[in-house]
Every structure is written in structure tokens, then in C-alpha cells.
Structure 1
Amino acid sequence: MRKIMLAALVLVALTAWAWLQPREDVNARDSYLVLAVSWTPSWCAAHGAARGDQRCDAGSGAGWLVHGLWPQHSVGGWPEFCDTDHPAPARPALQGMVDIMGSAGLARHQWAKHGSCTGLDAEGYFAQTRTAFNGLTFPQTIRARAQPQNLAPDTLLAEFRRANPQFGPENVTLTCRSGMAQELRLCLTHDLTPQPCDARLQARGCAANLVTLPALP
């Protein structure tokens, strides 16, 4: 009996201790945002063309498109597929993102995986994504080429920052895969102003000496 009473007291004490611990604010699960912008011809060369995706069709002209807007932790990592009271986006909202994302299916996936963790409804999340993307300038040197071009990652980043001087070296990284430039990842506050990327995100930047920008379809 004494052991049972002692165990019960311990359980009560542990429960009380747990309730006294600070709770994570669902509105503070992330520290900043990452806007990922993909060079579509690289994705087509790696995956999309084999799938018959229309973004890879000749004449589509699909270049830099939004992959997603992602909540990010300052220590690295990110929340995903969060519980939310907001409903899934309706078809018109998804279709409304095709011009900057290339696919209603991608828009749906990005809302489910990342948008659900922002505290915004789908309309607010997509509006924030569009505002962030529309604030960027992509210079001719890194877009709209009929032939592939090879350049150093630092050169590509420098060209982007020259056209977007609000971004410093600490605010944007480039990813690459199979020798091709893949994505620009831009680190932003919730007000969509540039902010330093966390160390883990920066460490995933392209380490190649030279990358290819495949030509537009």
C-alpha cells in the first residue's frame, strides 16, 4: 500500500511539473520564412520531362518558379504538416497560383506541408507567397536563355544580388544537384524583409565549382 501511495504521489508531482512547463506558442513554431525559387529547366532535366509535365513542353518558357514558402527554425529544421483549423484551399485558389508555381498540385502540397504551419489561411499564405516572389528581379544573365550556360555558383548569386541589392550573401543560398543549379533559397522575416539564413541552411548550399543552367524549354 505504501508503495502504491508513493507511486501515486510521484505521478501527481510529475504531472504538475509537466503542466508548469512553458507551452510552445503555435504562432511561434517558426522563426522566419524561406522562399524557395526553382529553375524549372533543371527540374525538367532531372524529373519533370520524364513525367510529361507541361512545364517542360517546348515553348512553355517556364523559368524561375516558386517551389514554396517555408516556415523555418532559427536553429535549423522546420515544422511541417501542422494541425490547423483552416480548411484546405479550394480549386480556384490553387489555380490562381499556377502562374508563379506552375502547378495546382504543387500549390496544394505546399499548403498542406508548409502553409498549414504559418497560422495563415490558404488565401493569406498564397498572397504572402505571391508578394514575396513579385518583389524579386531575375536578371537576363540568369534567365531566358535558349542555350545552356555554365557559371560558378558565386557568379549566379552575385548576379541575383546585383538585381536585388536588399539581399546580402547571408540572406540567400543556391542549391544544386547533378551539376545543375537547382534553387535559390531566400531567407525572410514574416514581414518579407531579408534576414540571415540559419547555419544549417547555409551549409546545404551548392559546393560545386561550376553549375549548369539548362536552357528554357
Structure 2
Amino acid sequence: MFYFRLNSFSRLLISLTLAAGLVSLAGGARAQDKRQNAPGEFDFYVLSLSWSPSFCEEAAERGRSGGRSNIQCEGRPYSFVVHGLWPQYESGFPEYCQRPSPRLNRNIVSSMLDLMPAPGLIFNEWDKHGTCSGLDGRNYFETIRKARAAIKIPPEYLELSQAKTVAPGEVEEAFIKANPGLSNAAVSVTCNRTRLSEVRICLSKDLQFRACEELERRSCRRDQVTMPPIRGG
């Protein structure tokens, strides 16, 4: 009798586990866009602008040497640099849409170093995000340049010589003031534990400001963060 009850209980546990697994799989299927990772099939872009001094301080704390941190942090002074231009779905995003990715011409890499100051960053962005744009390498990076040219950096952040404590909303408002047509629904600030990391701006495929709910869900939740001063000179 005891063996039968134990068996029944085991069967119940198995049934519940299978049911939970099916629910989880169904939820995952809903979360994934049906166009997942199809090149050129996406809804809008996110232009991500990284506050370079924060990146460099974090790299120094981790003892990172060489590579992107060495090039970006020991050269000329940088304020906001382009982290990337990321194709997005209304929910979620594609990545690594061609494996292996088409080879990126070195001349293209050299031409982008004023905006993205490390070859490793440029290659990575092409592999992960550029291959999802539906554009070839030259046109993708030309689109990045056009997107960056459409954004004006607020003047108070261009030559920041001392550390500045800011509220994330204050940075958003500064970008909105400097860029007519930009709204709170189209811009977001990200941070780590103490520092401002990035400003992210949603753009349509023709590079017009547009609202995006996904951006807000990934935004900084801290009341205040630090913007380290610009390095080098």
C-alpha cells in the first residue's frame, strides 16, 4: 500500500514538473519574436552612447589592460562615444544574425575610430548587431555615423573636467533640451552601481526619434549617479 502511494505521489510530481515546463516553454516562445535573427527584419534602432570616463574607470578597477580599454582610455579625451546601433523588436532584439559574419573591411574600421575608439568594439558590434541590420558593412557603419550626427550632446557634458553627480532624469532632460523632437519615451539612461554608463536613444529605421517601451524597462533605477571627468588631453 505504501509503495502504491509513493508511486502515485511520484507520478503527481512528474506531472506537475512537466506542466510547469510546458508553461515555461510557452512563455519563452511568446517572448521570442517570430522573426528572430532574420537579417533586416526588425522594428527600430537603439543608438547607445557610452560615457567613456565611466567605462575607463571600471576597466581600471578590474585591472583590464590592452584591447579596447587601452586604446580608448589612454588616447585623446572622449566624452560620449558610440557603443553601437542596435536593431530591436518591440519586445526583445536579434543578435548574431549571420554566422560566420561577413568580413569587415579594415578601411571601414579605421574610418569609425573617431566615433567608436577601439577596433575590437567595432568588430564586435558588426558581428552581434550589424549583421542583423540587413545592411552590408559599409552601409551599416554609414548609418551609425548618420545616427550619431543626428544627436547633439548637451554642452555641459562635452568638456566635463570634474566629477559630476547627476540624477538619471536630469541627464535625460538635458538630452531632450538639446535635441528638439526627442521625448522621455525615446531616451533612457543606464548605470552600474555608482556611475552613469550609457544614454540610449530610440530611432526609427529612417533615424527619426520614436518611443519604445523596452528602453524604460532597462533604465537606471538609482536616484543619483556619478559622471567621472573626461580623461586625457
Report the equivalent of 2:96: 81
SS for the counterpart of 1:100 is coil
Separation in 2, partners of 1:106, 1:154: 28
Separation in 2, partners of 1:183, 1:64: 8
AA of the residue aligned to 1:55: Q
TM (norm. structure 2) is: 0.77
Matched, 1:207 2:207: no
Report the equivalent of 1:45: 57
Q: Post-superposition shift, 1:150?
A: 0.5
The 5 A counterparts of 1:56-95 are: 56-57=73-74, 60-75=76-91, 77-83=92-98, 87-95=102-110
Paired residue for 2:72, among 55, 78, 81? 55
Mapped contact 1:36–1:184 kept (Cα < 8 A): yes
Mapped contact 2:39–2:131 kept (Cα < 8 A): no
SS for the counterpart of 1:66 is strand
Report the equivalent of 1:18: none
AA of the residue aligned to 1:66: V
Separation in 2, partners of 1:92, 1:48: 30
The 5 A counterparts of 1:134-145 are: 134-145=149-160
Q: For the aligned residues, what is the CA RMSD?
A: 2.0
TM (norm. structure 1) is: 0.82
Cα deviation 1:104-133 (Å, max 9, x = unaligned): 111111001000011100000000000000
- Count of aligned positions: 192
Separation in 2, partners of 1:37, 1:24: 27
Report the equivalent of 2:4: none
Q: Which runs of 5+ in 1 are unaligned?
A: 1-22
AA of the residue aligned to 1:63: S
The 5 A counterparts of 1:1-217 are: 24=35, 26=38, 29-47=41-59, 50-52=63-65, 53-57=70-74, 60-75=76-91, 77-83=92-98, 87-198=102-213, 200-217=214-231
Which range moves more in the overlay, 161-170 or 79-88?
79-88
Q: CA 1:24–1:206 in structure 2 vs 1: closer, same or farther (change >3 Å)?
A: closer
Q: Which runs of 5+ in 2 are unaligned?
A: 1-33
Q: Write out the 4+ residue segments of structure 1 that deviate beyond 4 Å after TM superposition.
A: none
Cα deviation 1:131-170 (Å, max 9, x = unaligned): 0001111122223111100111111111111001221000
Mapped contact 1:84–1:117 kept (Cα < 8 A): no
SS for the counterpart of 1:41 is helix
SS for the counterpart of 1:212 is strand
Separation in 1, partners of 2:193, 2:55: 11
Q: CA 1:210–1:36 in structure 2 vs 1: closer, same or farther (change >3 Å)?
A: same
Q: CA 1:28–1:56 in structure 2 vs 1: closer, same or farther (change >3 Å)?
A: closer
Mapped contact 1:88–1:112 kept (Cα < 8 A): no
